[in-house]
Structure 1
Protein backbone atom coordinates (compact mmCIF):
# COMPACT_ATOMS: atom_id res chain seq x y z
CA UNK A 1 0.00 0.00 0.00
CA UNK A 2 2.87 2.40 0.68
CA UNK A 3 6.66 2.50 0.58
CA UNK A 4 6.75 5.13 3.33
CA UNK A 5 8.32 4.24 6.66
CA UNK A 6 7.53 4.86 10.30
CA UNK A 7 10.16 5.76 12.87
CA UNK A 8 9.38 4.77 16.47
CA UNK A 9 11.28 7.48 18.29
CA UNK A 10 12.65 8.40 21.68
CA UNK A 11 13.00 12.17 22.03
CA UNK A 12 15.27 13.67 24.68
CA UNK A 13 15.68 17.31 25.73
CA UNK A 14 18.21 18.52 28.29
CA UNK A 15 18.62 22.13 29.42
CA UNK A 16 21.95 22.70 31.14
CA UNK A 17 21.86 26.41 31.99
CA UNK A 18 20.77 28.46 33.87
CA UNK A 19 18.84 25.56 35.45
CA UNK A 20 19.12 21.85 34.75
CA UNK A 21 15.94 20.39 33.28
CA UNK A 22 15.58 17.16 31.31
CA UNK A 23 12.78 15.04 29.93
CA UNK A 24 12.19 12.27 27.40
CA UNK A 25 9.19 10.74 25.69
CA UNK A 26 8.29 8.19 23.04
CA UNK A 27 6.59 9.10 19.81
CA UNK A 28 6.60 8.24 16.11
CA UNK A 29 7.39 10.10 12.90
CA UNK A 30 7.05 9.48 9.19
CA UNK A 31 9.96 9.01 6.79
CA UNK A 32 8.67 9.59 3.26
CA UNK A 33 9.94 10.14 -0.27
CA UNK A 34 8.44 13.41 -1.55
CA UNK A 35 7.76 11.69 -4.87
CA UNK A 36 5.75 8.95 -3.18
CA UNK A 37 3.72 10.11 -0.22
CA UNK A 38 1.81 7.44 1.73
CA UNK A 39 -1.15 5.74 0.10
CA UNK A 40 -3.10 4.18 2.95
CA UNK A 41 -6.55 2.60 3.35
CA UNK A 42 -9.35 5.13 3.78
CA UNK A 43 -9.75 4.34 7.47
CA UNK A 44 -6.16 5.42 8.20
CA UNK A 45 -5.85 8.49 5.98
CA UNK A 46 -7.02 10.96 8.61
CA UNK A 47 -4.15 9.79 10.82
CA UNK A 48 -1.54 10.31 8.08
CA UNK A 49 -2.51 13.45 6.20
CA UNK A 50 0.34 15.29 4.45
CA UNK A 51 -0.41 18.83 3.28
CA UNK A 52 1.93 21.26 1.55
CA UNK A 53 0.73 24.19 3.64
CA UNK A 54 2.09 22.54 6.79
CA UNK A 55 5.62 23.40 5.61
CA UNK A 56 7.19 26.55 4.22
CA UNK A 57 6.56 27.52 0.61
CA UNK A 58 3.63 27.88 -1.76
CA UNK A 59 0.66 26.07 -0.16
CA UNK A 60 -0.76 25.34 -3.61
CA UNK A 61 2.40 23.67 -4.95
CA UNK A 62 3.88 20.29 -4.08
CA UNK A 63 6.29 19.70 -1.22
CA UNK A 64 8.97 18.77 -3.74
CA UNK A 65 8.42 21.95 -5.75
CA UNK A 66 8.83 24.09 -2.65
CA UNK A 67 11.99 22.32 -1.49
CA UNK A 68 13.55 22.54 -4.96
CA UNK A 69 12.66 26.23 -5.15
CA UNK A 70 14.36 26.89 -1.82
CA UNK A 71 17.46 24.98 -2.92
CA UNK A 72 17.56 26.88 -6.22
CA UNK A 73 17.74 30.13 -4.25
CA UNK A 74 20.98 28.75 -2.78
CA UNK A 75 22.39 27.53 -6.10
CA UNK A 76 21.64 23.84 -5.55
CA UNK A 77 20.12 21.68 -8.32
CA UNK A 78 19.27 18.08 -7.48
CA UNK A 79 18.34 17.25 -11.11
CA UNK A 80 15.44 15.12 -9.92
CA UNK A 81 17.29 13.33 -7.11
CA UNK A 82 15.49 11.84 -4.16
CA UNK A 83 14.26 14.01 -1.29
CA UNK A 84 13.44 12.20 1.94
CA UNK A 85 11.39 13.95 4.62
CA UNK A 86 11.19 13.11 8.30
CA UNK A 87 8.24 14.74 10.00
CA UNK A 88 4.80 14.46 11.48
CA UNK A 89 1.57 14.12 9.54
CA UNK A 90 -1.77 15.67 10.41
CA UNK A 91 -3.78 13.56 12.84
CA UNK A 92 -7.54 14.17 12.63
CA UNK A 93 -6.88 17.56 11.05
CA UNK A 94 -4.22 18.87 13.44
CA UNK A 95 -0.44 19.02 13.12
CA UNK A 96 2.41 20.25 15.23
CA UNK A 97 5.87 19.31 13.99
CA UNK A 98 8.75 20.91 15.93
CA UNK A 99 11.38 19.72 13.45
CA UNK A 100 11.02 18.57 9.85
CA UNK A 101 14.19 17.27 8.19
CA UNK A 102 14.73 16.95 4.43
CA UNK A 103 17.64 14.87 3.10
CA UNK A 104 18.34 16.10 -0.45
CA UNK A 105 20.13 13.77 -2.87
CA UNK A 106 21.27 14.43 -6.42
CA UNK A 107 20.49 12.21 -9.38
CA UNK A 108 23.52 9.98 -8.61
CA UNK A 109 22.15 9.29 -5.12
CA UNK A 110 24.77 11.40 -3.33
CA UNK A 111 23.57 13.48 -0.38
CA UNK A 112 23.96 17.13 -1.38
CA UNK A 113 22.55 18.88 1.69
CA UNK A 114 20.04 18.70 4.53
CA UNK A 115 17.25 21.14 5.35
CA UNK A 116 16.14 21.51 8.96
CA UNK A 117 12.76 23.26 9.14
CA UNK A 118 11.95 24.37 12.68
CA UNK A 119 8.41 25.18 13.85
CA UNK A 120 7.68 27.02 17.09
CA UNK A 121 4.50 27.08 19.16
CA UNK A 122 3.65 30.58 17.88
CA UNK A 123 2.86 29.32 14.38
CA UNK A 124 6.19 30.46 12.90
CA UNK A 125 8.62 28.45 10.78
CA UNK A 126 12.22 28.78 9.65
CA UNK A 127 14.61 26.77 7.49
CA UNK A 128 18.30 26.08 8.04
CA UNK A 129 20.37 24.81 5.12
CA UNK A 130 22.88 22.26 6.41
CA UNK A 131 25.89 20.96 4.43
CA UNK A 132 26.22 17.21 3.89
CA UNK A 133 28.86 16.75 6.57
CA UNK A 134 29.01 14.57 9.67
CA UNK A 135 28.70 17.60 11.95
CA UNK A 136 27.65 21.11 11.00
CA UNK A 137 27.43 24.47 12.75
CA UNK A 138 24.80 27.11 11.98
CA UNK A 139 24.01 30.41 13.68
CA UNK A 140 20.73 30.43 15.56
CA UNK A 141 18.34 32.67 13.62
CA UNK A 142 14.91 31.76 14.95
CA UNK A 143 12.96 32.10 18.20
CA UNK A 144 11.99 28.67 19.50
CA UNK A 145 12.01 28.49 23.29
CA UNK A 146 10.75 31.57 25.19
CA UNK A 147 13.67 31.00 27.59
CA UNK A 148 16.48 31.33 25.01
CA UNK A 149 17.48 34.45 23.06
CA UNK A 150 18.10 34.32 19.31
CA UNK A 151 21.87 34.16 19.77
CA UNK A 152 24.55 31.50 19.70
CA UNK A 153 24.77 28.63 17.27
CA UNK A 154 23.62 25.07 16.77
CA UNK A 155 25.91 22.06 16.41
CA UNK A 156 24.01 19.45 14.40
CA UNK A 157 24.43 15.81 13.47
CA UNK A 158 21.70 14.85 11.01
CA UNK A 159 22.78 11.67 9.22
CA UNK A 160 20.34 10.15 6.75
CA UNK A 161 18.56 7.20 8.40
CA UNK A 162 18.80 3.60 7.30
CA UNK A 163 17.54 0.94 9.72
CA UNK A 164 17.90 3.37 12.61
CA UNK A 165 17.62 7.11 13.05
CA UNK A 166 19.80 9.21 15.31
CA UNK A 167 19.74 13.01 15.20
CA UNK A 168 21.53 15.24 17.71
CA UNK A 169 21.40 19.01 18.23
CA UNK A 170 23.28 21.17 20.73
CA UNK A 171 22.77 24.89 21.29
CA UNK A 172 25.94 26.75 22.17
CA UNK A 173 25.95 30.21 23.72
CA UNK A 174 28.04 33.10 22.45
CA UNK A 175 30.80 31.98 24.84
CA UNK A 176 30.81 28.44 23.41
CA UNK A 177 29.18 26.76 26.40
CA UNK A 178 26.49 24.18 25.66
CA UNK A 179 23.12 25.44 26.91
CA UNK A 180 20.74 22.83 25.57
CA UNK A 181 20.82 19.47 23.82
CA UNK A 182 18.17 17.45 22.02
CA UNK A 183 18.20 14.09 20.30
CA UNK A 184 15.81 11.93 18.31
CA UNK A 185 16.55 8.24 17.91
CA UNK A 186 14.56 5.23 16.85
CA UNK A 187 13.88 2.23 14.63
CA UNK A 188 12.82 2.63 11.01
CA UNK A 189 10.05 0.25 9.93
CA UNK A 190 7.87 -0.25 6.88
CA UNK A 191 4.63 1.73 7.21
CA UNK A 192 2.28 -1.17 6.57
CA UNK A 193 -1.35 -0.45 7.50
CA UNK A 194 -1.09 -2.76 10.51
CA UNK A 195 2.04 -0.92 11.73
CA UNK A 196 0.37 2.47 11.27
CA UNK A 197 -2.70 1.28 13.16
CA UNK A 198 -0.53 0.06 16.05
CA UNK A 199 1.34 3.40 16.17
CA UNK A 200 -1.92 5.34 16.22
CA UNK A 201 -3.31 3.17 19.02
CA UNK A 202 -0.09 3.46 21.05
CA UNK A 203 0.11 7.24 20.56
CA UNK A 204 -3.44 8.54 20.04
CA UNK A 205 -3.82 12.19 19.04
CA UNK A 206 -0.03 12.40 18.99
CA UNK A 207 0.31 15.84 17.39
CA UNK A 208 -1.88 17.33 20.15
CA UNK A 209 0.19 15.48 22.74
CA UNK A 210 3.47 16.84 21.37
CA UNK A 211 2.20 20.43 21.52
CA UNK A 212 0.84 19.88 25.03
CA UNK A 213 4.12 18.35 26.24
CA UNK A 214 6.13 21.34 25.04
CA UNK A 215 3.80 23.81 26.74
CA UNK A 216 3.81 21.76 29.96
CA UNK A 217 7.61 21.75 30.09
CA UNK A 218 7.57 25.50 29.48
CA UNK A 219 5.22 26.00 32.41
CA UNK A 220 7.52 23.94 34.62
CA UNK A 221 10.50 26.13 33.68
CA UNK A 222 8.49 29.31 34.23
CA UNK A 223 7.43 28.03 37.65
CA UNK A 224 11.09 27.58 38.51
CA UNK A 225 11.66 31.26 37.88
CA UNK A 226 13.34 31.11 34.47
CA UNK A 227 12.84 34.54 32.83
CA UNK A 228 11.01 34.79 29.49
CA UNK A 229 12.92 36.31 26.57
CA UNK A 230 10.68 38.62 24.45
CA UNK A 231 9.88 37.25 21.01
CA UNK A 232 11.33 39.37 18.17
CA UNK A 233 9.46 40.26 14.99
CA UNK A 234 9.62 37.48 12.43
CA UNK A 235 11.13 37.78 8.97
CA UNK A 236 9.14 36.87 5.82
CA UNK A 237 10.67 33.37 5.90
CA UNK A 238 9.16 32.91 9.33
CA UNK A 239 5.65 33.92 8.30
CA UNK A 240 2.74 32.69 10.38
CA UNK A 241 1.21 29.46 9.19
Structure 2
Protein backbone atom coordinates (compact mmCIF):
# COMPACT_ATOMS: atom_id res chain seq x y z
CA UNK A 1 0.00 0.00 0.00
CA UNK A 2 1.42 3.38 -0.95
CA UNK A 3 0.55 7.06 -0.80
CA UNK A 4 1.10 9.84 -3.29
CA UNK A 5 0.04 13.45 -3.08
CA UNK A 6 -2.42 14.35 -5.79
CA UNK A 7 -1.95 17.57 -7.69
CA UNK A 8 -4.80 19.68 -8.96
CA UNK A 9 -6.61 20.89 -5.88
CA UNK A 10 -6.10 24.64 -5.67
CA UNK A 11 -6.52 24.65 -1.89
CA UNK A 12 -5.69 21.47 0.08
CA UNK A 13 -8.70 20.25 2.06
CA UNK A 14 -6.59 19.46 5.10
CA UNK A 15 -6.05 23.19 5.54
CA UNK A 16 -9.75 23.33 6.44
CA UNK A 17 -9.68 20.39 8.84
CA UNK A 18 -10.33 17.52 6.42
CA UNK A 19 -8.49 15.52 3.79
CA UNK A 20 -9.87 13.83 0.68
CA UNK A 21 -8.43 10.39 0.01
CA UNK A 22 -8.89 8.72 -3.37
CA UNK A 23 -8.35 5.04 -2.61
CA UNK A 24 -7.86 1.80 -4.52
CA UNK A 25 -8.22 0.02 -1.17
CA UNK A 26 -11.68 -0.65 0.25
CA UNK A 27 -12.64 1.92 2.92
CA UNK A 28 -13.42 -0.69 5.57
CA UNK A 29 -9.88 -2.06 5.30
CA UNK A 30 -8.22 1.29 5.92
CA UNK A 31 -10.76 2.70 8.39
CA UNK A 32 -8.67 1.88 11.51
CA UNK A 33 -5.76 3.82 9.99
CA UNK A 34 -8.00 6.76 9.15
CA UNK A 35 -9.58 6.74 12.62
CA UNK A 36 -6.15 6.80 14.24
CA UNK A 37 -5.11 9.68 11.98
CA UNK A 38 -8.19 11.71 12.89
CA UNK A 39 -7.76 10.99 16.59
CA UNK A 40 -4.15 12.18 16.51
CA UNK A 41 -4.56 15.22 14.26
CA UNK A 42 -8.21 16.24 14.51
CA UNK A 43 -8.37 16.18 10.69
CA UNK A 44 -11.38 14.34 9.25
CA UNK A 45 -11.02 12.04 6.23
CA UNK A 46 -13.29 11.64 3.21
CA UNK A 47 -12.70 8.52 1.12
CA UNK A 48 -13.59 7.93 -2.51
CA UNK A 49 -13.07 4.25 -3.38
CA UNK A 50 -12.76 2.87 -6.89
CA UNK A 51 -11.11 -0.42 -7.83
CA UNK A 52 -9.92 1.09 -11.11
CA UNK A 53 -9.85 4.38 -12.97
CA UNK A 54 -8.82 6.74 -10.17
CA UNK A 55 -5.96 8.24 -12.17
CA UNK A 56 -8.28 8.88 -15.10
CA UNK A 57 -10.79 10.49 -12.73
CA UNK A 58 -8.21 12.89 -11.29
CA UNK A 59 -7.04 13.72 -14.81
CA UNK A 60 -10.62 14.49 -15.85
CA UNK A 61 -11.20 16.64 -12.77
CA UNK A 62 -8.04 18.61 -13.53
CA UNK A 63 -7.27 21.62 -11.35
CA UNK A 64 -10.72 21.30 -9.78
CA UNK A 65 -10.01 17.85 -8.37
CA UNK A 66 -10.76 17.65 -4.64
CA UNK A 67 -8.24 14.82 -4.25
CA UNK A 68 -5.50 15.44 -1.70
CA UNK A 69 -4.08 11.93 -1.38
CA UNK A 70 -4.05 8.95 -3.75
CA UNK A 71 -3.81 5.63 -1.92
CA UNK A 72 -2.73 2.79 -4.21
CA UNK A 73 -2.14 -0.92 -3.71
CA UNK A 74 0.55 -1.80 -6.23
CA UNK A 75 3.76 -0.46 -7.74
CA UNK A 76 2.19 -0.56 -11.21
CA UNK A 77 -0.48 1.90 -10.10
CA UNK A 78 2.15 4.14 -8.55
CA UNK A 79 3.92 4.29 -11.89
CA UNK A 80 0.59 4.90 -13.64
CA UNK A 81 -0.19 7.81 -11.29
CA UNK A 82 3.21 9.45 -11.66
CA UNK A 83 3.37 9.02 -15.43
CA UNK A 84 -0.23 10.22 -15.64
CA UNK A 85 0.81 13.52 -14.13
CA UNK A 86 -1.56 13.42 -11.16
CA UNK A 87 1.09 13.54 -8.41
CA UNK A 88 3.44 16.24 -7.24
CA UNK A 89 6.84 16.23 -5.49
CA UNK A 90 5.98 17.62 -2.06
CA UNK A 91 6.83 14.69 0.21
CA UNK A 92 9.97 16.21 1.67
CA UNK A 93 9.33 15.13 5.24
CA UNK A 94 12.06 14.21 7.76
CA UNK A 95 9.85 11.61 9.49
CA UNK A 96 9.11 9.86 6.19
CA UNK A 97 12.77 9.94 5.22
CA UNK A 98 13.77 8.56 8.62
CA UNK A 99 11.17 5.79 8.94
CA UNK A 100 10.71 4.64 5.33
CA UNK A 101 13.69 3.11 3.47
CA UNK A 102 14.85 4.92 0.36
CA UNK A 103 13.90 1.98 -1.89
CA UNK A 104 10.28 2.46 -0.80
CA UNK A 105 10.25 6.16 -1.65
CA UNK A 106 10.14 7.84 -5.03
CA UNK A 107 13.50 9.58 -5.68
CA UNK A 108 11.58 12.69 -6.70
CA UNK A 109 9.34 12.61 -3.63
CA UNK A 110 6.04 11.93 -5.41
CA UNK A 111 5.12 8.75 -3.51
CA UNK A 112 6.16 6.52 -0.63
CA UNK A 113 5.29 3.01 0.49
CA UNK A 114 3.33 2.37 3.68
CA UNK A 115 3.20 -1.42 3.65
CA UNK A 116 4.65 -4.29 1.65
CA UNK A 117 3.11 -7.64 0.82
CA UNK A 118 4.88 -10.98 0.73
CA UNK A 119 4.25 -12.88 -2.52
CA UNK A 120 5.33 -16.43 -1.83
CA UNK A 121 5.32 -19.91 -3.28
CA UNK A 122 2.48 -22.07 -2.01
CA UNK A 123 3.24 -25.80 -2.18
CA UNK A 124 1.54 -29.08 -1.32
CA UNK A 125 2.89 -30.54 1.92
CA UNK A 126 2.11 -34.05 0.67
CA UNK A 127 3.56 -33.83 -2.85
CA UNK A 128 6.41 -31.30 -2.56
CA UNK A 129 9.17 -32.37 -0.15
CA UNK A 130 11.27 -29.27 -0.83
CA UNK A 131 11.05 -26.80 2.07
CA UNK A 132 11.92 -23.62 0.15
CA UNK A 133 11.47 -22.67 -3.50
CA UNK A 134 12.78 -19.48 -5.12
CA UNK A 135 11.11 -17.58 -7.93
CA UNK A 136 14.01 -18.60 -10.16
CA UNK A 137 13.36 -22.30 -9.49
CA UNK A 138 9.82 -22.06 -10.86
CA UNK A 139 11.33 -22.47 -14.34
CA UNK A 140 13.05 -25.75 -13.40
CA UNK A 141 11.77 -28.58 -15.67
CA UNK A 142 11.22 -30.76 -12.59
CA UNK A 143 8.03 -28.78 -11.97
CA UNK A 144 6.60 -29.44 -15.43
CA UNK A 145 2.80 -29.59 -15.27
CA UNK A 146 2.77 -28.76 -11.55
CA UNK A 147 2.40 -24.96 -11.29
CA UNK A 148 -0.73 -22.79 -11.14
CA UNK A 149 -0.73 -18.99 -11.39
CA UNK A 150 -3.31 -16.28 -11.92
CA UNK A 151 -3.53 -14.21 -15.12
CA UNK A 152 -0.11 -13.10 -16.30
CA UNK A 153 -1.50 -9.62 -16.97
CA UNK A 154 -2.55 -9.17 -13.34
CA UNK A 155 -0.65 -6.40 -11.55
CA UNK A 156 0.78 -8.88 -9.00
CA UNK A 157 2.44 -10.90 -11.72
CA UNK A 158 3.50 -7.87 -13.73
CA UNK A 159 5.31 -6.60 -10.63
CA UNK A 160 7.00 -9.99 -10.21
CA UNK A 161 8.10 -10.13 -13.84
CA UNK A 162 9.41 -6.57 -13.62
CA UNK A 163 11.41 -7.45 -10.51
CA UNK A 164 12.97 -10.37 -12.35
CA UNK A 165 14.04 -8.03 -15.15
CA UNK A 166 15.46 -5.59 -12.61
CA UNK A 167 17.46 -8.31 -10.84
CA UNK A 168 18.48 -10.56 -13.74
CA UNK A 169 18.03 -8.66 -17.00
CA UNK A 170 15.70 -9.05 -19.96
CA UNK A 171 17.31 -12.09 -21.61
CA UNK A 172 17.31 -14.12 -18.39
CA UNK A 173 13.71 -13.18 -17.64
CA UNK A 174 12.55 -14.12 -21.12
CA UNK A 175 14.10 -17.58 -20.71
CA UNK A 176 12.70 -17.84 -17.18
CA UNK A 177 9.19 -16.97 -18.33
CA UNK A 178 9.39 -19.61 -21.05
CA UNK A 179 10.39 -22.20 -18.46
CA UNK A 180 7.63 -21.09 -16.11
CA UNK A 181 5.06 -21.29 -18.90
CA UNK A 182 6.22 -24.80 -19.77
CA UNK A 183 5.67 -25.86 -16.16
CA UNK A 184 2.07 -24.67 -15.89
CA UNK A 185 -0.59 -27.22 -15.01
CA UNK A 186 -3.28 -25.14 -16.72
CA UNK A 187 -3.97 -21.78 -18.34
CA UNK A 188 -3.35 -18.91 -15.87
CA UNK A 189 -6.62 -17.95 -14.23
CA UNK A 190 -8.40 -17.23 -10.96
CA UNK A 191 -7.44 -15.46 -7.76
CA UNK A 192 -4.68 -16.17 -5.24
CA UNK A 193 -7.10 -18.18 -3.14
CA UNK A 194 -8.21 -20.27 -6.09
CA UNK A 195 -4.55 -21.15 -6.73
CA UNK A 196 -4.38 -22.58 -3.20
CA UNK A 197 -7.62 -24.45 -3.79
CA UNK A 198 -6.12 -25.94 -6.95
CA UNK A 199 -3.25 -27.31 -4.87
CA UNK A 200 -5.73 -28.77 -2.39
CA UNK A 201 -7.72 -30.43 -5.18
CA UNK A 202 -4.58 -31.91 -6.76
CA UNK A 203 -4.78 -29.88 -9.95
CA UNK A 204 -1.28 -28.56 -9.29
CA UNK A 205 1.43 -28.84 -6.65
CA UNK A 206 2.79 -25.28 -6.59
CA UNK A 207 1.28 -21.81 -6.90
CA UNK A 208 2.02 -18.15 -6.21
CA UNK A 209 0.03 -16.13 -3.70
CA UNK A 210 0.21 -13.24 -1.26
CA UNK A 211 0.73 -14.30 2.34
CA UNK A 212 -2.31 -12.49 3.75
CA UNK A 213 -4.66 -14.75 1.81
CA UNK A 214 -3.67 -17.54 4.17
CA UNK A 215 -5.33 -15.68 7.01
CA UNK A 216 -8.44 -15.09 4.94
CA UNK A 217 -8.66 -18.78 4.07
CA UNK A 218 -8.12 -19.86 7.67
CA UNK A 219 -11.10 -17.79 8.79
TM-score, normalised by the number of residues in structure 1: 0.24
Computing the radius of gyration from Cα coordinates, the structure with the larger value is 2
Instruction: Report which of the two has the higher share of helix.
Output: 2
Instruction: Report which of the two has the higher share of strand.
Output: 1
